[in-house]
Amino acid sequence: MFPYFVYELREVDAEQGHSRFVLECNGWDKLSPAALNDVFDALEALLDEYGYIDNRFRLNVYKQGIRQEVPDPDKNIRHHRILFEVRLTRRNKNENV
């Protein structure tokens, strides 16, 4: 069933209250990439430079590079990928929000 999407979040760095993750978003569609582009456009609009903060942690998300078209062995399938960097900082109890 197309379009088809897979998301992977992996930690790439961590030290004393700070963690850095890469969110890899992959999508496949047959022939026309219109639905694929719509989802990736929405992801970029929602996540690029997204920030969240509360009394426990701060979360920031940034798009890394450009949307990539990945070659697929099946010429009828379009495969796109986009990467986001996710930064998570745990807050001290005494910090102001």
What is the average per-residue pLDDT within 58-81? 93
Kindly report the CATH number that applies to the domain delimited by 4-90.
Answer: 3.30.2000.30
Q: Please tell me the predicted confidence (pLDDT) of residue 95.
A: 57
For the entire predicted model, the pTM comes to 0.84
Query: Token pair of 3, please?
Result: 């379009």
**φ, ψ of residue 49 in degrees (nearest 5):** 65, 25
Q: Is the pLDDT of residue 90 over 70?
A: yes
Q: How many CA atoms lie within 13 A of 37 on its CB side?
A: 5
pLDDT band at 29 (very low <50, low <70, confident <90, very high): very high
